[in-house]
Amino acid sequence: MGILNITPDSFFDGGKYKDEKAILLQVGNMLKDGATFVDVGAYSSRPGAKHISEEEELSRIIPVVELLVAHFPDILISIDTFRSQVAKKCIEAGAALINDIAGGDLDDKMFDVVANLQVPYIVMHMQGNPQNMQEAPKYENIVTEVFYELSKKVEKLNTLHVHDVILDVGFGFGKSVAHNYELLKNLDYFQQMELPVLTGVSRKSMLYKPLDITSQEALNATTIVNTIALQKGTQILRVHDVKEAVEAVKIFGLMNAGSELDK
């Protein structure tokens, strides 16, 4: 899953894709490099990000969805939003799935809208909201607490006849660096739910802060953690750098192919 942030203040690529030419070039490159989905976001969810209105989010994202559908008819667009009406209008404009960082917590209509639309839904765990999530995240046992919260939501979604659900433990969303690595170490625990798992660690502070580097220098660390995530059952990698992630997936696939390679 390639990331397209059309926000002025995203932590890594904020403000880079401001016009149609830049957007089409970036998405074209991601698709050429092997992206299955393109995840479009118009609300920055970095820690402490500025809150914007639903109207502003819609004014940013709808024209981009329409632009991408017009230029890439076979594209699968994921919409990175926690607002049900933004999700609904983007799906109506041609998007294919919803990626909700709040897992329904910031809009109590989201689950019903997903049920009505009958589209795939990525349910992510977040403690708090983007404005306060990193102030003092606290857990007794992060792995079991995140598992419990996600399983409750999956159960609710299933009662609404939403069965195409993807899990995201929410690396960096209301978690300390130690919390993130505890989740990574136990990521295979989430296979118990028998649902696809998406991992989004691309260039995040959990990678660059311990290494004392910047997000611009965190591609190697991203690839390492993506590879660990694949080994622990992740089926979707959400990334800024599609080519390197596709290579990781291919190498991981070759390892699992084993003796089949020589046939």
| Active-site amino acid positions | 204, 238
Q: Side chain identity at 261, as an amino acid letter?
A: L
Give the CA angle between residues 190, 192, 195 to the nearest 5°: 75
Give the CA angle between residues 16, 19, 20 to the nearest 5°: 120
